[in-house]
Amino acid sequence: MMRAARTLSLLLLSATPALCFAQKTAEDLQKMYVDFLAEEGYRPEVDKDGDVQFKAEGKTFFIDVDADDLNYFRLALPNIWPIESEQERTQCYVAADFSNAQSKVAKTYLVGDNIWVGIEVFVAEPQDFKRIFARSLSALGNGVNQFAAKMREQQK
């Protein structure tokens, strides 16, 4: 009996931080992302979809705000390559596949008539994204570079 009570106590204690953050809202996530990005020297804004966007090296990135899945972190760079023909669409599929195979964590994919690259990971706690942010930005850049290199190769 005593052992069961101790086990229950440990379970409740270990779940407490997650339970506290589970009550957070989309606005809490937005604030956490905005505050972090501002501290890092970016000028973040909340866009019309509720995501947090910021510019780096002349490109507009966004962090997806998903209050339904607090352990999901997604950093994306939309519209890196417009698809202007069906032949180019086929080349984009080949280049996206190449980029996905060559890149760690980065996902290159088609959204309508554009190519996007994103980082999608699960974090133990929502604030843990801070520890992987710089590497995520770098990995995303690698995904973009792999895609663009393959496109240039195919268009020669």
Q: What is the pTM of this model?
A: 0.82
For residue 142, what pLDDT is reported? Answer: 98
* Cβ burial, residue 21 (10 Å; 0-12/13-18/19+): middle
For residue 156, what pLDDT is reported? Answer: 84
What is the rounded (10 degree) CA torsion for 115, 121, 125, 131? -80
Could you give the CA distance from residue 9 to residue 73 in angstroms, rounded to a whole number? 30
The string of pLDDT tens digits covering residues 109-136 is 999 999 999 999 999 999 999 999 999 9
Percent of the chain with pLDDT over 70: 85
Question: For the residues of 140-152, what is the DSSP string, one character each?
Answer: HHHHHHHHHHHHH
